[in-house]
Amino acid sequence: MSEVVTVGSTKTWELIAKKDGVVWDISSAVVTLYFVKQDSSIVSFNAPVTDGINGIAKYTNLSTLFVSADRGTWFSVWKVADGSVVEYSVGEVFTVADPFLRPPA
């Protein structure tokens, strides 16, 4: 079962970047977090590198990102760009739910 994120909530999303199976020093990288909504529209945010040597970047979404009209299945994808090297994560599926409404059909 996928993770559930509640409408109106904030969440800190964390990346531990790996390249060729080992932690990647992303100190000089630009990190972007993409969210793909149920309708296939995409929103993206720059994610600050919080511990580059250990490959960690974090992004805390605003409470206005997840609204009732967008409830359903989403997925997130990270992009790390370090000079000419660009890597994408495997997408992670999650569900946006409104605790005051029935789940979408």
Q: What pLDDT is stored for residue 34 in this prediction?
A: 98
The whole-model pTM stands at: 0.91
Q: What pLDDT is stored for residue 2 in this prediction?
A: 78
- 58, 88 in Cβ contact below 8 A? no
CA angle 68, 4, 32 (to 5 degrees): 85
> Domain locations in the chain?
3-97
Better-scored residue on pLDDT, 101 or 81: 81
Q: What is the CATH architecture assignment of 3-97?
A: Sandwich (2.60)
Q: What pLDDT is stored for residue 99 in this prediction?
A: 85
Q: Region of 72 please: left (phi>0), alpha (psi -120 to 50) or beta.
A: left
pLDDT per position as a tens digit, 19-46: 999 999 999 999 999 999 999 999 999 9
**Quick one: which of 52, 68, 50 has its CA closest to 9?**
68
SS3 content of the chain, % helix, strand, coil (to 5): 5, 50, 45
